[in-house]
Amino acid sequence: MTDETENGAAAHPRAGPPDAEPADATGRARAARLPMLLEAVLSVGTALELRATLQQIVDTATALTEARYGALGVLDPGRGTITELFTSGLGDAERQRIGRFPGGHSGMLGLLIAEPQPLRSDDLTTDPRSCGVPPGHPPMHSFLGAPVQAQNQVFGNLYLTEKRTGRFTDTDMALLRVLASQAGIAIGNARLYEAARQRERWIEGAAAVTTALLSGGNAADALLTVAEGARALADATAGVILQPDEKGGMEIVTASTLDDPAGIVGTTIEPGSAVLAQLLGGEAVFIEDSATDPRMTTHVRSRFGPSMMLPLQSGGRLIGTLALPRRRGARPYTAVDRQLASQFASQAALALVLADAQHDREQLAVYEDRDRIARDLHDLVVQRLFATEMMLESTRRRAAAPETDELLGKAVDELDSTIQEVRTAIFALQQPPAEVPATFRGRVLRETGGAAAVLGFQPSVHFNGAVDTLVREPVDGRLLAALRGALAAAHRRAGVSAIEVEVDAAAVEPDGRAAVRLSVADDGREEDGSRSSTFIWQAPL
């Protein structure tokens, strides 16, 4: 029969001739099998769960051909190895004895993968093509296999062994080919649907990340947003961002992980690494197992298995690298996973560049607005206040009554104090807006650092005591206001070339209470030529 050549028996002489079947017996057998075959075919179009459908197909194939054992192996499209195996006829005890199922690299399974054509053997124990059978597998003799494919794409293979009534026949082969074709349709449709859903999730996730980036925030928050979004979409254990460091390597600057992140941030890829050369060149790196891949040199690699390392670049500018490792033993990334994650990285890099440009524009607008307010205060408000103060001073000198002189003196003092406060505000407006540090020590250093841009030199700062622990609200705000006022006053004095700032959290009030003392000393001179004195401010804690 022509089926022999199609089934591969002619190509493999040792396969043996099939059992002869009388015409009447063949017709009755086919009629008896038809309802079960139709039910399996119909289930492919109506069942919603792929795994249940594939299990039903292998069970039906085993029953229709009177095989003792059946299996349906699903292939990984990118690697050509078996990733899932649905079996029929094996009990729990037999499964435990077999242990890990074969990956399809050798033997009859490997031959079906390498040459996706129907295959039949009457006795596996004497067939030279049979090898790699797990030690605990039950004895097998007869074998029948067919590729699971649709539209010339192979999705897996359907295997049957140990026919109860002898050898597999041409009718068995025809039934198996029909069921294998239906399994191919089911797997193909499921993968198309899953790929569409996966693309939809990645597109929605990329849009959400882009929206979050463009809504504002600092650079660290933007990188963490990208890492968190990618980790969730890729079903990864961690999402990390690496950026080039000063030594020519790459350092993990942000990490989003479901596990303990300790030891991840700050990890570096040293110069000379093969992976680093690819990343700095803007190439993606895909790793099967981070723990065993010789290209991986970081100490955290032992935590992870499959990983993707994707360049974040836009317009030829390399912002960094997005790494998405999964835990050891997790399922590897598919070709679709890699493609969608690479597209996400490209869009995220563009969004980061746009967010950075938007932040720069907003900062420039803030600078311009602060500069305008400072000019208006200096040119209009301060000058008018000063003129009013001069008029009141002149009136006070001409006043005869002591009460009037006293009231005018108080008004002059209030105006002078107001002028000092406005000048302090102008001084603060002239400082660059930056993120407020979390610690009190950092806020003091920020104030003195901002003053350095106006003074032309950096004031020296000394701390005494646990200032970050002891100085709390509202004392910290009052001390910073006093510091700004003292720095502004020092700036107005002539000949200032050095300023010393000291914050002492171990000071003591006259009544014995703990206090914080601020001292600001400079080497300038007052308008009358006298040496300026040290500014002292103290408040109880």
Predicted local distance difference test score (pLDDT) of residue 17: 43
What is the rounded distance in angstroms from the CA atom of residue 194 to the CA atom of residue 467? 57
pLDDT confidence band for 519 (50 / 70 / 90): very high
283 token code pair: 């190439």
On the CB side of 442, how many CA atoms lie within 13 Å of its CA?
6
Pick one of 3.40.50.300, 4.10.490.10, 3.30.565.10, 2.40.50.100 as the CATH number of 439-541. 3.30.565.10
pLDDT, tens digit (0-9, with 9 covering 90-100), for 156-195: 888 888 888 888 888 888 888 888 888 888 878 877 887 8
Residue 30 has pLDDT above 70, yes or no: no
Classify residue 18 by its DSSP letter: P
Q: Mean pLDDT of all residues in the chain?
A: 76
Beta strands in 52-210 (DSSP E): 67-75, 82-88, 119-121, 143-150, 153-163
What is the rounded distance in angstroms from the CA atom of residue 205 to the CA atom of residue 192? 20
What does the domain layout of the chain look like in residue ranges?
Answer: 2-193, 218-347, 439-541
Fold: same for 2-193 and 218-347 = yes
What is the rounded distance in angstroms from the CA atom of residue 345 to the CA atom of residue 329? 25
pLDDT, tens digit (0-9, with 9 covering 90-100), for 271-297: 878 788 888 888 888 888 888 888 887
List the CATH code of the domain at 218-347.
Answer: 3.30.450.40
Pick one of 3.40.50.450, 3.40.50.170, 3.30.450.40, 3.40.50.12280 as the CATH number of 2-193. 3.30.450.40
pLDDT, tens digit (0-9, with 9 covering 90-100), for 449-499: 777 777 778 888 888 888 888 888 888 888 888 888 888 888 777 788 888
> What average pLDDT does range 507-531 have in this prediction?
83
What is the rounded distance in angstroms from the CA atom of residue 297 to the CA atom of residue 225? 27
